[in-house]
Chain A
Amino acid sequence: MLNFRFIGRQITAAKRQGAVFVLCVALSMITLVSLGSFNRSVNASLLRDAQSLHAGDIIVRSHAPLPAQVEAEIGRLAASRQLVAARYWDFYTVAQKTNGSGSLLCDLKVVEPGYPFYGKVVLASGHPFHQVLTQGYVIAEQTFLDRLGLRLGDRVRIGKATLTVRDVLVQEPDRPVNFFALGPRVFVSARDLSGLGLLGLGSRADYVTLAKVSDRGDLDRIAAQLKRAAGDSRIRVETYQNADSRVKRFFDNLLFFLNLSGIFTLLLSGFGIQSTLFALLKEQERTVAVMKAVGARSRFIIGHYFAVALILGFLGSLAGLLASLALQLILPRLFSGLIPAQVTLTVSGWAVLEGLLIGLLVVLLFTALPLYRLKEVKPRAILGKEEHQKLWTRATWLIAGSGTLFFLLLVLIRLQDAKTGLYFMLALAVLILVSYLLATGTLRYLRGRQPGNLAVRQALKGLFRPRNATRSIMVTLSAALAVIFAITLLEKNLDASFVESFPPGAPNVFFIDIQPAQKGDFARTLGVQGDYFPVIRGTVSAINGTPIDPEKERQARGDNLAREFNLTYRDTLLPDERMVSGRTLFRPDWSVPQVSVLDTVIKMRKMAVGDTLTFRIQGIPVEARISSIRTRTSGGITPYFYFVFQPAVLADAPQTFFCAARLDKSSIGAIQDRIVKRFPNVSVIDLTEAVTVFGRIMARLSTIVRFFTSFSIVAGILIVVSSVFATRYARIQEAVYFTMLGARRRFVVTVFAVENLLIGLISGAIALIISQLASLVICREKLEMDYNPYPLESLTLLAATVLLVMCVGMGASMGILRQKPVVFLREQGDE
């Protein structure tokens, strides 16, 4: 039978610890619940608007004109009125002002009448899209007009055609987000396609056919028919129900990562819950001893304190839910530009239920150990004798083991990816273990130190104050900070690598789709030295005779073999390449066609020198044996190719040329104008512009990641606060004794400040060591780029950590410093 008055008194008596407990529970669920809710909202919206997000029922995509048999099948189905079809072509090209005074890379979409079958292209004029987009006209985004200094009615050269800008694009249904575009969207009517003269053999473009079926019941059958017609070509036939939109893929990946961050926060908050409850129960040890002395059983006592934990946990869950709801108001701003306009963020009942469940599980998981240890409080503690309890018994191992297993299950369920889940758990374990070892080593070293300054010496002693959770604070803070620091360092390195600088002499402008016949003339027009690479589009269809399953390949989180590759041929290594397997690029002793592969490909699928790859190039199968494996020695933006063939194999294949050149920044505009005027089919990619887009995306993503990771810092701060509360008595005692013995207030404040400074400094330093090592490994091994440790920025992070910990620690200690010595001494006398 529970004594509710006792439970109520315990909660009110430990108000401060209780508040920290509630906050920790709230914090443990806030990220996961808000992300879960956000994910559901995005998915629901994408599913609800799936037809308009794809603009049709069936989507047939290709990187080349559709094979005749597919065209024929579509024609047959259209003739029998089972569907209506509309094609569009999507590619980058450079548009130019008619007077040649300006040009701009734009994302061209050439559409046939009928597009879009679902959804609506919204124009600034409000007129219907199909009435505005007629032959001779274009519709463009406002930025297109702004950057070229055009107005409606002005004419613009695109390819070989001169077209009139007729309206401004506000929104298109199948590109809900344009955050990732390298240039503004421009719509052109398909009647102008041939006039543009931009699509040659091997040109880089998406060829898409949209179909609207007459009877929705026939959807899958018709899709299957088209798939059969496509055969084993790399053409993708999808329905709006199973098509994976880029937006969805992007969100799946981002939310996957943010979920990792949420789980990390949950773990740290869990430690906070555990240490707070340990402190709360430690304060009640004498009460527990008295209860036991008068005959109460452990089960009775644990039951009551479990009820206390459950009530506080319930309050925390409610607070977490409310905070998650509040976060739904912030998320649209945080993700602005990244989420489609039609996404409406709502909080589902399922999210609420999930939140309460997570809250309950977190409370059960992290309170088990402190509650169990109540069993070990002996009645003789009534005499105030501190008993050294054995920390690890069979029962505590069992509790810790069950907790770990349970946490692993939570990770696997949440991530739905066993391999990543296990890696994540392993990384977490390593992070916490390294933090623990470094904190323990540092504390052990400090324990024996005797600094000359009295205040510093007392502060050092304070770190080892009984009940001080110094090590727990350091481990939690340093683990959380290591993640934040590593994100910052990686972001800085990526910025440096891609955004801020191009190495002297490295190319900064790429010219693509140069036809072989144009090469000589192009080089003369360009007027500067450029590197030319033949490009042949092709796919990998089999490895050692085993066909590639494109669907399975596309499920990979990173790059995959299902996509189309740019193949090239040459017989020398590039200056920034070296061999990692094989002595020469090609083997003189082999008579079969050979291909050298970049080591990045090996990471997609295991393969080795001697294996045979089958490619499809313009529909023709080409078998080649792997003669060598190369790697890149620089991470900069220089051209590289996954597959390099012997010239003899591909020299006669349909190809275009790709040119990389280093141009003076001030001359890029003029050269672009000159090239586009003479070679309208050639696209000019100004990398300085491209990296600006990339930098914008990186900055936004890192803001989002940092926002969610900052919750783990809050968990660390709560543990600092909890530790101050747990040691409140000891701190007051010290402050009073120091004052009584003649110490000024400044001395006491200095002791507490130095203690917090040490905690912040050590935690920050450990975090910095771990994050530097982790970032170094990620940059060198995963991103294959140079690493800069950014010492100044690192020291700034460290200083910020110290400041934060000092502010929090001193803030929580203010009440202690205000305590009057006589009040404390009188209370002691009363005892």
Chain B
Amino acid sequence: MTILESRAVTKSYAVGKELIKVLDDITLNIEEGEFAVVKGESGSGKSTLLTILSGLDRPDQGRVLIEQRDITDLDEDTLAPLRNATFGFVFQSFHLVPSLTARENVMFPAELRGDPSARDKAEALLHRVGLAGRMTSFPHQLSGGEKQRCAICRALINAPRLIFADEPTGNLDSVNGEAILQLLLELQRERNTTLLMVTHSQKIARHADRVITLRDGRIV
């Protein structure tokens, strides 16, 4: 079953007076439970595609559908609960809230839903990724690998159907990067979550069920 679909998505940015087309007529389907990788060189438009597919940005043209529901024209307040319940995000720069501890960061999406067991779930996840001893640490007190594990827990706490990961190992050394990738894949399989990952790493792409290659904003 198709969980995510883009139909002829186009996106341009103005740089000075010039209009640069970043995505050009992108049509793709992502199936439920699939691990798909969007690969491409720097500037090929892969991160832009991820932000549009996840509803963080809008396409200039084309449509985006999540579980057959068109989200292209939804306003922010309608998209917010959808992102909260259906999506999880993992970024290269971690994007943890600096004023919250590791546990609070993980709990946050569940608390937004009003989940009374947010704390228990967060602690269980942190245990699972080996951060039981770092629950009350603030992001600046964590290493890169720990931050990313914390971000993965946060992405998973609401048991999302779809995880968007943007270069999740980009800021990590090879050992940590490999460990994070394995963790992400393990959790994805455990929970039968769909994983859409943006990377330029050939090594990661080898693990994927499907590889979508972008060049100059087009799928090749």
Contacts and interface: CB of A to CB of B under 8 A. Distances in A.
Interface of A: 386, 454, 461-462, 464-466, 730, 733-734, 737-747, 820-822, 825-826, 828-829, 831
A741 B95 CA distance: 11
Instruction: Tell me if B's interface is mostly helix, strand, loop or mixed.
Output: helix
B108 interface: yes
B169 to A, nearest CB: 15
Contacts of B95: 737, 740, 825, 828
A464 B99 contact: yes
B56 interface: yes
B97 A737 contact: yes
Interface in B78-101: 80-85, 87, 89, 91-93, 95-100
A737 B81 CA distance: 14
A828 B98 CA distance: 15
The 6 closest A-B pairs by CB, nearest first: A742-B84, A822-B57, A742-B83, A461-B99, A744-B80, A741-B109
B112 interface: yes
Contacts of B51: 822, 825-826
A744 B89 contact: no
B182 to A, nearest CB: 24
A747 B112 contact: yes
B47 interface: yes
A587 B112 CA distance: 82
Contact of B112 (A461, A466, A734, A741): A741
Contacts of A738: 97, 108
Contacts of B89: 740-741
B97 A734 contact: yes
Nearest to B58: A822
Contact of A742 (B92, B98, B109, B140): B109
A730 B80 contact: no
Given A461-B100, A737-B97, A741-B108, 18 more contacts: A737-B96, A739-B76, A740-B83, A740-B89, A741-B84, A742-B80, A742-B82, A742-B84, A742-B87, A743-B112, A744-B76, A744-B77, A744-B81, A820-B57, A825-B56, A828-B95, A829-B47, A829-B166
Contacts of B104: 461
Interface string B45-59: 001000100001100
A733 B92 contact: no
B141 to A, nearest CB: 11
13 contacts: A461-B100, A738-B97, A740-B83, A740-B89, A742-B83, A743-B80, A744-B81, A745-B80, A822-B51, A822-B57, A825-B91, A829-B92, A829-B93
Contacts, number: 79
A742 B85 contact: yes
Given A825-B51, A829-B93, A462 B84 contact: no
Nearest to A743: B112
Contact of A745 (B77, B82, B100, B166): B77
B154 interface: yes
A746 B77 contact: yes
Given A454-B112, A461-B100, A730-B98, A740 B56 contact: yes
Interface residues of B, number: 32
Given A462-B99, A733-B98, A742 B76 contact: no
A822 B56 contact: yes
A440 to B, nearest CB: 19
B166 A741 contact: no
B31 interface: no
A730 B77 CA distance: 22
A740 B154 CA distance: 12
Given A747-B112, A826-B47, A734 B77 contact: no
A754 to B, nearest CB: 14
Contacts of B112: 454, 741-743, 747
B111 interface: yes
B83 A741 contact: yes
A740 B84 CA distance: 8
B44 to A, nearest CB: 14
A332 to B, nearest CB: 51
Contacts of B166: 829
B77 A454 contact: no
Instruction: Choose among B47, B77, B97 the residue with the greatest number of A CB atoms under 10 Å from its CB.
Output: B97
A179 to B, nearest CB: 56
A737 B97 CA distance: 7
B109 to A, nearest CB: 5
A390 B57 CA distance: 44
Contacts of A743: 80, 84, 112
Contacts of B154: 741
B219 to A, nearest CB: 21
Contacts of B97: 733-734, 737-738
